[in-house]
């Protein structure tokens, strides 16, 4: 892969300041102060919020605290999506810190997956990596890895260790130079205006003639309304890792540098806020 290590590092160490507030309907024995935390964009809410849970548990009786879940402005936050995706999809135009409400009861069974332990997050994360590698290399890279390599990917994410993670992940980002890219680009397009969780289809990084496909090419095929038409004001923001890449950015480069640790390019399409 092209060695833009500074980009990889900037993506990894991206942080979102957040303020966690206990829902006012929760039963507490004393007032629960808000809790402030810098959230890693590339991690998962349930993986980095043990301190939040301990903080609010101190103000509650044990029998009143069921499984913790989070909500932003009435929308339950799906922990199985990376934190950066949740923010870009639901709160990219909010004033920071991101204000997240914490719940310990009335778990929204229809909208959220349960997350009883970190092993559930690990299984979800590894299944994403395996799915991405099936698209990129017909699963050859991930199948050639040893169990300890899989563990090193997970431990790198869990412990926020950039070098530990990328020592293994770089293998997942390689491809034969004569092929010009991966077999298919692992991507998901999210939008708040749809009941579908995301759009995901097969899309190659190059055309049959060998021309590099761009972000604009992908959107034209998968979600054309996201692109502005000539002479009309922009209606949608297309955000990846907190930034709006130019439509002419090569898709292969984006996949190598702006993918989340699960090796997917998570693309959030949201309406431009009205003034």
Cβ proximity of 219 and 238 under 8 Å: yes
More confident residue, 176 or 121: 121
SS3 state of residue 6: helix
Does 1 have pLDDT greater than 60? no
Give the pLDDT band of residue 4 (cuts 50, 70, 90).
confident
Give the pLDDT band of residue 3 (cuts 50, 70, 90).
low
Q: Which residues contact 121 (CB under 8 A, 6 or more apart)?
A: 44, 46, 47, 79, 80, 115
Does 265 have pLDDT greater than 70? yes
Question: Could you tell me what percent of the chain has a pLDDT over 70?
Answer: 99
- Give Cα separations from 71 to 37, 121, 157, 227, 251 (angstroms): 16, 19, 24, 30, 32
- Report the side by side order of strands in the sheet with 187-191: 187-191, 265-271, 236-239
How much is the pLDDT for 62? 75
Quick: pLDDT tens for 79-97: 999 999 999 999 988 999 9
Give 165's DSSP letter: H
């Amino acid at each position: 892969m092209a060695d833009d290590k500074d980009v990889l590092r900037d993506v990894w160490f991206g942080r979102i300041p957040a303020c966690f507030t206990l829902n006012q309907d929760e039963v507490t024995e004393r007032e629960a102060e808000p809790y402030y935390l810098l959230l890693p964009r590339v991690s998962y809410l349930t993986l980095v919020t043990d301190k939040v849970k301990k903080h609010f548990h101190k103000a509650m009786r044990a029998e009143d605290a069921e499984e913790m879940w989070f909500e932003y402005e009435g929308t339950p936050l799906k922990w199985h999506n990376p934190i950066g995706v949740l923010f870009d999809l639901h709160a990219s135009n909010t004033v920071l810190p991101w204000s997240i409400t914490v719940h310990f009861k009335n778990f929204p069974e229809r909208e959220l997956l349960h997350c009883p332990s970190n092993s559930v997050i690990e299984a979800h994360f590894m299944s994403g990596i395996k799915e991405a590698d099936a698209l990129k290399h017909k699963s050859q890279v991930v199948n050639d890895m040893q169990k300890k390599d899989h563990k090193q990917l997970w431990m790198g994410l869990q412990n926020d260790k950039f070098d530990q993670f990328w020592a293994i992940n770089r293998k997942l980002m390689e491809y034969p130079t004569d092929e010009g890219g991966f077999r298919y680009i692992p991507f998901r397009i999210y939008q708040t205006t749809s009941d579908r969780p995301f759009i995901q289809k097969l899309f190659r990084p190059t055309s049959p003639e060998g021309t590099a496909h761009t972000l604009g090419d992908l959107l034209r095929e998968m979600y054309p309304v996201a692109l502005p038409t000539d002479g009309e004001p922009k209606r949608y923001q297309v955000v990846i890792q907190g930034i709006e890449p130019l439509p002419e950015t090569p898709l292969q480069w984006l996949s190598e540098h702006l993918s989340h640790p699960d090796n997917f390019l998570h693309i959030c399409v949201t309406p431009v806020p009205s003034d």
